[in-house]
Amino acid sequence: MSAHDEFHGCRRLIATLDQAVSGNDPAIITRNVEKAFCHLLAEDAITLPEPLRQPASDGYARRLIHRDPQRGYSAIAMVWGPGQGTPVHDHDGLWCVECVLEGRIEITPYALVERNGTRFRLLPQGSVNAGFGSVGRLIPPFEYHTVANPEDDAVAITLHVYGGDMERCNAFVPLADGWYRREERRLGFTA
């Protein structure tokens, strides 16, 4: 599913992202995407239609906005119902820029401090509450985090741009003493 013809600002968003992702350096690309988000949001240039704004009852909703195999990126809207969030996860080696379009989210980055086979020792690095217009970047190997909607009665919406198709990730299941077991998760899209 691609919704690029369906909402105000989508063509401009895609054209802006096409320019921002040029080059090969993830640090420069993610900085360019971050600037693009800030500029578009300051101009109120992105308005998602109702079908892309609906939460899912069984977990956060993940909806494809645009996929560009030629330039190697994808844009995805995520809708977080009250209290919904992710486990600790990585981005399967892909860079990512995340932007809050509506509501509030809480992001907790994790540092990898030790690895033993499929066991990882990850330590939380503090949490950040992000509201409308907040933008964050992840560049591997610094890609471990959780994302959650901390509200009991409000929906949060985020826009994510990945350096490829994020079709899978590794989730980390807590064991004890900061240790986690890695599990591969296949990712799909919400109808």
Q: Are 99 and 40 in contact (CB under 8 A)?
A: no
Mean pLDDT by 10 residues, the chain (191 residues): 60 93 93 95 89 93 94 96 97 96 96 93 95 93 95 96 95 95 95 85
Q: Is residue 1 part of a domain?
A: no
- Dump pLDDT digits (tens) for 102-120: 999 999 999 999 999 989 9
Question: Using an 8 Å Cβ cutoff, are 103 and 149 in contact?
Answer: yes
* CATH code of the domain covering residue 181: 2.60.120.10
The reported pLDDT for the residue numbered 123 is 96
Structural domain contains residue 81: yes
This prediction has a pTM of: 0.92
Tell me: cis bond preceding 141? Omega within 30 of 0 counts: yes
Query: Whole-angstrom Cα distance, residue 165 to residue 96?
Result: 11
Q: Is residue 138 included in any domain, yes or no?
A: yes
Classify residue 109: in a domain, yes or no: yes
Strand ranges (E), the chain: 61-68, 73-80, 88-89, 96-102, 105-116, 119-124, 128-130, 135-138, 145-148, 156-162, 168-174, 179-186
